[in-house]
Amino acid sequence: MRKILITGGAGFIGSNLCDHFISKGFQVVCLDNFSTGFRHNIGHLLSNPHFFLIEGDIRNLETCKKSCEGVEMVLHQAALGSVPRSIGDPITTNEVNVGGFLNMLVAARDSGVRRFIYAASSSTYGDSPALPKVEDVIGKPLSPYAVTKYVNELYADVFAKTYGMETIGLRYFNVFGRRQNPNGAYAAVIPKFVIQLMNHESPVINGTGDFSRDFTYIDNVVQMNEKAMLTENSEAVNQVYNTAVGDRTTLNSLVEYLKEFLSEFDGEIKNIEVVHGPNRTGDIPHSLASVEKAKELLGYEPTHDIRTGLKEAVGWYWENLRDSLQSSE
């Protein structure tokens, strides 16, 4: 049985990866310090004999080495996300996202891990105005978070060339779906809007609402991780890939879609007014990915567009959050 390590495995994306690869017959080691992940995301897996939880921090090299023992592949998701968080506390963001990343690379190298797949970010495109975003054309970073994710790509490239490791970076574009936390100061926009609408509160859009994003449903992200992990195409490794749909949606359209789907559960939601606030520091105006490289080299085919994904996500949130509705912090 093949053994893989998923760092940040109790988080939103990580726990979905844990579920998927357990269902596919892998042995899964989950490393998490529960700073942003939750035990309830993986509680159902704890009794599975093929699932192993290591509670620890990637800032500790010995923890990373222990986690990599006997592991063939690493899916590195552990990080401190959020542009605003990084602006408020760039030092901790760097310690986790750069120091922790380097620890994981060293541990993977020393343990003989065959392939190291890591969560990169669309924030790496920075101030580049070009659309769609193509992997080889990036701008200058606009936040400390963006700097850390770009440094990840540089380190991965150096480790591939210097130590012969196989690395693949996945530049995630605005991932959403089941288990994405709607609460807290750094909640992502979709779950935040969902919980506000369910509470009959007006969602606050930063700016005019004309900013657009390539919102990417979690199932597409799981598929990309699996393709990256299992590819036997030698040209596909030691690369970075956009992980997205290749379509863009404005924030105004996003809210209208959410109101439409949530109104199927609560008719009053469609009448909720939207409030507009100031633009957020560090935000890029538009984001749209080209996914041609992933299609060509990895055989990626996104299964969910924004509406299909939102409909599934809204159903999950309604089922899982309606009994414990609370305002986002």
Query: Higher-confidence residue: 157 or 328?
Result: 157
CATH code of the domain covering residue 208: 3.90.25.10
Looking at the structure, do residues 239 and 267 belong to the same domain, yes or no? no
Rounded Cα distance between 161 and 150, Å, is: 17
Does 30 share its domain with 102?
yes
* Measured distance CA(21)–CA(163) in Å, rounded: 28
C-alpha distances out from residue 280 to 28, 70, 211, 239, Å = 38, 44, 11, 31
Instruction: Report the mean per-residue pLDDT for the chain.
Output: 94
The pLDDT tens digits for 273-311 are: 999 998 877 677 889 999 999 999 999 999 999 999 999
Same domain, 109 and 186: no
CB 161 within 8 A of CB 201: no
- Structural domain including 200 reads 177-213+248-288+305-324
**Could you tell me if residue 300 is inside a domain?**
no
Cα torsion angle, 240, 243, 246, 250, sign = negative
Asked if 24 and 70 sit in the same domain, the reply is yes
Residue range 36-40: average pLDDT? Answer: 96
Counting the structural domains of the chain, the total is 2
Question: Cβ–Cβ contacts within 10 Å for residue 271, how many?
Answer: 9
Q: Which residues are catalytic?
A: 145
- pLDDT of 324 strictly over 80: no
Mean pLDDT of 204-222: 94
Question: What does the pLDDT look like over 55-90, one tens digit per residue?
Answer: 999 999 999 999 999 999 999 999 999 888 999 999
Same domain, 61 and 74: yes
**pLDDT over threshold 80, residue 224:** yes
pLDDT tens digits, residue range 144-195?
999 999 999 999 999 999 999 999 999 999 999 999 998 877 788 999 999 9
Q: Are residues 78 and 170 in the same domain?
A: yes
CATH number at residue 73: 3.40.50.720
Please indicate, yes or no, if residue 20 is contained in any of the structural domains.
Answer: yes
